[in-house]
Amino acid sequence: MYKNLRDCQIKPMELFQLYLYLSPQMAMPHINLLTWNLPQLEAQMPWRYLTITMFSPLSTEYIVAFNGYFTAKARSHFISSALKSSEALDWRIVPRKNPASDFPSDFEVVQIRQASHSSLLTLEDHPYIKRVTPQRKVFRTLNYTPDLPDPGATCNNDTRWTQKWQSWQSSRPLRRTSLSLAFGFWHATGRHSSRRLLRAIPRHVAQILQADVLWQMGYTGSGVKVAVFDTGLSEKHPHFKNVKERTNWTNEKTLDDGLGHGTFVAGVIASMRECQGFAPDSELHIFRVFTNNQVSYTSWFLDAFNYAILKKIDVLNLSIGGPDFMDHPFVDKVWELTANRVIMVSAIGNDGPLYGTLNNPADQMDVIGVGGIDFEDNIARFSSRGMTTWELPGGYGRVKPDIVTYGSGVRGSGMKEGCRSLSGTSVASPVVAGAVTLLVSTVLNRELVNPASMKQALIASARRLPGVNMFEQGHGKLDLIRAYQILNSYKPQASLSPSYIDLTECPYMWPYCSQPIYYGGMPTIVNVTILNGMGVTGRILDKPIWQPYLPQNGDHIDVAVSYSPVLWPWAGYLAVSISVAKKAASWEGIAQGHVMVTVASPAGNNVGGEMTSTVKLPVKVKIVPTPPRSKRVLWDQYHNLRYPPGYFPRDNLRMKNDPLDWNGDHIHTNFRDMYQHLRSMGYFVEVLGAPITCFDASQYGTFMMVDSEEEYFPEEITKLRRDIDKGLSLIVFSDWYNTSVMRKVKFYDENTRQWWMPDTGGANVPALNDLISVWGMAFSDGLYEGDFTMADHDMYYASGCSIAKFPEDGIVIAKTLKDQGLEVLKQETAVVEGVPILGMYQTPSEGGGRIALYGDSNCIDDSHRQKDCFWLLDALLQYTSYSMTPPSLIHSNSRVTPPTGTDRPLPERLEGNHLYRYSKVLEAHLGDPKPRPLPACPHLSWSKPQPLNETAPRCVRPMVS
C-alpha cells in the first residue's frame, strides 16, 4: 500500500527527475543523505533496551559508549583491539536482539569477567570509545499502562513513517505541505551525552507543560471549538470523547485518517487517555483537507475555511505550510479567518537549520507561528528559521516564529489506537493549539480573547532560551501557566514584537548585534510587529515619536519610522530605520532612546469612541567610527529574485527535491555563513535594497553581486561603470543559464495545475553580460559540474557557468569539469578540460577598481552547499579591496589565456520567458519587454526628535502588564 502511495505522490516530480537526474548515485548529494540518515539514527536509539537498563549495577556487564555510530562488526573490532593489550580477560559482547540492532549504534554491552579497573581504563583509551559505565538492572518504575504498544516497536514504525513522509515532503516544495516529522532528532546542538538516551522515555507533553495544574482547577477546554485541518480522524478512535463533526474537503471518499498525521495532531490537542492531550473536553471539528497521498489544493482550503468561519471556530490548528506566501487567495483567507476571531496556530516549517525557510501561513502577523524544540530546550534541527522574506529587497524581515515548544519525540495518538511518538513542527503546532484551547476555556469573559490577545499572552509569558537568537526562538518557549496568569488579568492593549530594540544584545538580537552601526552606512531596519488586542482593526494615532535620551547620547542617531496605515487584522508593522547622525561620524559608544506609538481602535461599547493604547519601544545601539572604504562590502539584494511568485530554479541542479530558489538570497538568510565569515574577517557588510543608482560608491570597497536573477536599468549599467572607473570594485558570483536546460527543467506542478517553466536559469546571465560587457567580459551558457582542487582547497562546482570572454590582460583560472548540460539534455557524460571559471581584472583607468568573476554561487550559499569556498571569497576581497593579487591563484598552473568569446555565441534570453511579471525592472511591452522608468531612490523621512533629558530605564525590556 505504501508503495502505491508513493508512486502516485511523486509523479509530477518524477518527470522532473527524469529530465535531470540520471545516475542515482550521483543524485544523492550530501545534504540529502543526511536527511535520509537521520530517521535511521532515530531508530538506533535503543529505546526498548534502555527502558530495561537502568538502576542497580550488574557487576560484570559494562556499557561501552563510542564516539559515533558504528556497525556491529566495527564495534566488536574496536573492543577486541582495545582489550588486546590487557591480557587474559574473559569478555564477550552481550547480544542485543531488537529492531535497532540492524542499524549502526553508539554503544555496546560487554560482559567482562573479573574486570579490573585497569582493564576498563584500557578500554577507555581507545580512540573511538568515549566511556565505559557499569550496566544497570531494571526496576520498572515507570507507570506503564499494559496496553501501551511496545516503545521499541513504536520507534520502528515511526521510522518507516518518517522516511515516507520526508521523502514526500522534500519532493513537493511547491505544495503546501503537512509539516510532520522532519528528521526530528534529539540533539539540535550536537551535544552527546548519555542523558540523551533517557529522553527516549515517552514524555507526556501536556504534563511537562503543567496542563494538569489547570485541569485540577477544573479547566479542560470545555466549550471551546477547536478545528484540526489535517488528514482526518477515524470515527471510533478511543482517545476522543467530543468529536463534534468530521468533514471531508478532499476528492477522496473518506473521513478517516489513512496516514496518522491528523490523528496524532488531534490527540495532542484533545486526547483524553493514554497520551493525554491538553483539552480533552474541547469540541473537536475535524476537517480533512489532505488526501492519503498528501495532496491538497488551495481551493479545498478556501471552502473548508469558509465552513470554519460559519461554524464560529475558536482555535484552528494548521500543521501545514509551504513557501508560497504570494498565494493571495490563501493568505487573504487566513486574514479573513483571524478577522472573524479564529485563533490560528500554525507550524513554522521543517526546513531548518537553513535560514530563510519560514513557511506560510505561520509567517503571517496574525497567525501564531510555532517552532520546535527538544526536551532539552535546544531548537530542533528541523525547525524553520530566519526572518520573513516578504519584505525583501527594500525592507527587512519580521521576527518569526512567535514561540517555540516541544516538537521532538512528542507522544500522541496512534492512527487506530495507542500512542506513538513523532517529531516535527507539525507536532509543536498542536501543542500550542492545545494549550491555547485550554487557555481559552479558563477565561470568563470570552470577549477578551482574540487572536491578538492570545498571541500577546503567549509571547509575553514565553521563557527565553539562552544562547539562541530571536529569528530561531521568537519570544522563547511556551509557558502555559504564566500565559494563564497573564491572560486572566488581561486588559485590551497594543504591544510590540519584538518589544524592544537592543542592537548590542548578543546572541538574542543577532544579526543586529553582529555589526555595529556607523555614519554613512545603509540604515539598519528593524521590522517590529504591532499586535492590537483592542480590536480587529486599528490605526496609529498621530505619528510615532522618537525620544532620544540625551544623557545616553540618543542624539547621535536618527530614526525614521514607517508603519501600516491600518492595523488589520489585529496586527500591523512598524519599521524602524536607524542611522548614525553626522556628528557621530568618528564617535564610538552606545546611544539610547525610545519610540513612542499610540494605537487607536474603535471601541465596541461606545459609538464613535476609540480605545487607545500607548507603547514605548526602547532603542539601544552601538556606534563605531565609519570604517575605511576597503573594509566595507555592499551586497546587492535588489537584483536577487526568488520563488514565490515565479519559478526561479535552484542554483544547484542536482538538488532535485528542492527545485526552487526560495530562501531570499540575503546575507541573513541563506548567505548567513558567508556573512558571518566576512564579519569574522573584519569586513562590514551592508545591503543594497534599491537600484545601483542609489548608493554612494565612494563609501565602499567592493560591490558584491551573487546569483542575480533581475534585469538592469540602463542607468544602473552606466552608473556602475562610472563607479568602477572611480575605484569601486566588483565581485560577481554567477550561475548557470542555458535555455535548453531551462526548457528541460520545466515541470507540471500539481498544486497550481499548470506547467512551470523557469523564468531565468540559476542566475540571469544574459542580463549580467549586459552589465559587464563594457569591460570585455561575458559568461557563457555552458553548464558545468564537478570536483577540483584550487590553491590546495577542495572545491565543488555545482551547476555553474564558465567565463566566455575576458580581457586579455586579466587573470583567468580554468579547471577540468563535467559538462552537466550534456548530461541533462542527452544523458551523456563528457569531461571538458580547461573550463575558465575564475577571472580577475584590474580596470585600466587611473585609480580604477578591480573586477572578479566566478561562475558558481553554490559554494558561498548555505542551501545545499557541499564545500564552502570562503577562502576564495577572502582571496577575491583581498584583490578587490586591497589590490593584493593572491599568489596561490596567479602562480597556479591552471592559469590560462583569457577566452575571447569567439568560439560560441553568448547566451540569449529564453524566448517567451515571463520574467517581466516578477521583475522590478521590466514591464510587458508589445514584442520584447522593455525597462520601466528608473524608480526614485527610497527616501526616509527622519522623525523630528523630541529629546528627553532623562536617563534610560536600567532594564531595556519593558515588562508586560
Residues assigned a catalytic role? 230, 261, 426
Q: Is 235 in the site for other proteins (CB under 8 A)?
A: yes
Q: Is 587 in the site for other proteins (CB under 8 A)?
A: no
CB 798 within 8 A of CB 651: yes
Q: Is 246 in the site for other proteins (CB under 8 A)?
A: yes
By beta-carbon proximity to other proteins, the closer residue of 31 and 315 is 315
The distance in angstroms from the start CA to the end CA of the chain is 55
* CA dihedral angle for residue 426, residue 428, residue 430, residue 432, rounded to 10 degrees: -150
Q: Can you tell me the distance from the alpha carbon of 423 to that of 373, in angstroms, rounded to the nearest whole number?
A: 10
CB 160 within 8 A of CB 77: no
CB 655 within 8 A of CB 616: no
Q: Which residues contact 88 (CB under 8 A, 6 or more apart)?
A: none
Q: What is the full DSSP assignment across 878-942?
A: HHHHH----HHHHT-TTEEPPPBS-SSPPP-PPTT--HHHH-SSEE--SSS-EEPPPPPPP---P
Could you give the maximum distance between any two Cα atoms of the chain, in Å?
94
Among 752, 816, 866, 878, binds other proteins (CB under 8 A): 752
Residue 20 identity: L
Residue 38 has φ and ψ, to the nearest 5°, of -60, -45
By beta-carbon proximity to other proteins, the closer residue of 753 and 939 is 753
Cβ 666 to other proteins shortest distance, Å: 23
By beta-carbon proximity to other proteins, the closer residue of 27 and 326 is 326
Cβ 14 to other proteins shortest distance, Å: 21
Q: Is 4 in the site for other proteins (CB under 8 A)?
A: no
Among 321, 349, 414, 569, binds other proteins (CB under 8 A): 569
Q: Is 566 in the site for other proteins (CB under 8 A)?
A: yes
Q: Is 332 in the site for other proteins (CB under 8 A)?
A: yes
By beta-carbon proximity to other proteins, the closer residue of 139 and 755 is 755
Q: Is 251 in the site for other proteins (CB under 8 A)?
A: yes
Among 40, 101, 298, 693, binds other proteins (CB under 8 A): 298
Among 607, 926, 955, 959, binds other proteins (CB under 8 A): 607
Cβ 880 to other proteins shortest distance, Å: 41
Cβ 305 to other proteins shortest distance, Å: 8
Q: Is 240 in the site for other proteins (CB under 8 A)?
A: no
Among 97, 117, 140, 753, binds other proteins (CB under 8 A): 753
Neighbours of 3 (CB within 10 A): 6
Among 754, 893, 902, 949, binds other proteins (CB under 8 A): 754
Size of interface with other proteins, in residues (CB under 8 A): 51
Q: Which residues contact 115 (CB under 8 A, 6 or more apart)?
A: 60, 62, 89
Among 111, 537, 598, 630, binds other proteins (CB under 8 A): 537
Q: Is 157 in the site for other proteins (CB under 8 A)?
A: no
CB 96 within 8 A of CB 46: yes
By beta-carbon proximity to other proteins, the closer residue of 366 and 479 is 366
Name beta bridge partners: 865.
Answer: none
The answer, yes or no, to whether the previous bond of 393 is cis (omega within 30 of 0) is: yes
Cβ 277 to other proteins shortest distance, Å: 21
Q: What is the full DSSP assignment across 819-864?
A: EHHHHHHH----EEEEEEEEEEEE-SSTT--EEEEES--GGG-STT
Q: How far is CA 322 from the centre of its chain?
A: 12
Q: Is 550 in the site for other proteins (CB under 8 A)?
A: no
Cβ 329 to other proteins shortest distance, Å: 5
Interface segment toward other proteins; rule CB under 8 A; list 74-82, 339-347, 889-897, 952-960: 339-347
Q: Is 751 in the site for other proteins (CB under 8 A)?
A: yes
E strands along 746-830, which residues? 747-749, 754-756, 778-779, 784-790, 793-800, 803-805, 811-819
E strands along 76-198, which residues? 90-93, 105-113, 129-136, 177-178
Q: Is 248 in the site for other proteins (CB under 8 A)?
A: yes
Q: Is 341 in the site for other proteins (CB under 8 A)?
A: yes
Among 229, 330, 508, 519, binds other proteins (CB under 8 A): 330
SS (H, E, C) 15-67: HHHHHHCCCCCCCCCHHHHHHHHHHHHHHHCCHHHHHCCCCCEEEEEEEEEEE
Cβ 279 to other proteins shortest distance, Å: 20
Q: Is 178 in the site for other proteins (CB under 8 A)?
A: no
Interface segment toward other proteins; rule CB under 8 A; list 277-285, 293-301, 435-443, 688-696: 293-301
Q: What is the full DSSP assignment across 353-408?
A: TSBS-PPBTTTSTTSEEEEEE-TTSPBPTT--BS--STTTTTS-PBP--SEEEE-S
Residue 823 gets the label, from left (phi > 0), alpha (psi -120 to 50) or beta, of alpha
Among 124, 150, 303, 715, binds other proteins (CB under 8 A): 303
Cβ 949 to other proteins shortest distance, Å: 39
Cβ 877 to other proteins shortest distance, Å: 41
Q: Is 339 in the site for other proteins (CB under 8 A)?
A: yes
Q: Which of 420, 456, 404, 494 is nearest to 188 (CA)?
A: 404
Q: Which of 767, 812, 732, 718 is nearest to 909 (CA)?
A: 767
Q: Would you give the binding string for other proteins spanning residues 879-918, x where CB under 8 A is met?
A: --------------------------------------x-
What cell does 503 get?
542592537
Among 340, 485, 514, 612, binds other proteins (CB under 8 A): 340
Q: Would you give the binding string for other proteins spanning residues 309-328, x where CB under 8 A is met?
A: xxx------------x-xxx
By beta-carbon proximity to other proteins, the closer residue of 235 and 950 is 235
Q: Is 364 in the site for other proteins (CB under 8 A)?
A: no
Across 450-461, b (16+ Cβ under 10 Å) vs e yields: bbbbbbbbbbbb
Q: Is 466 in the site for other proteins (CB under 8 A)?
A: no
Among 53, 67, 247, 878, binds other proteins (CB under 8 A): 247
By beta-carbon proximity to other proteins, the closer residue of 291 and 881 is 291
Q: Is 249 in the site for other proteins (CB under 8 A)?
A: yes
Cβ 452 to other proteins shortest distance, Å: 14
CB 742 within 8 A of CB 910: yes
CB 459 within 8 A of CB 498: no
Q: Which of residues 252-281 bind other proteins (CB under 8 A)?
A: 253-256
Cβ 610 to other proteins shortest distance, Å: 8
Q: Is 541 in the site for other proteins (CB under 8 A)?
A: no
Which residues are at the interface with other proteins (CB under 8 A)?
Answer: 235, 245-251, 253-256, 297-300, 302-303, 306-307, 309-311, 324, 326-330, 332-333, 336, 339-341, 536-537, 566, 568-569, 602, 604-608, 751-754, 917
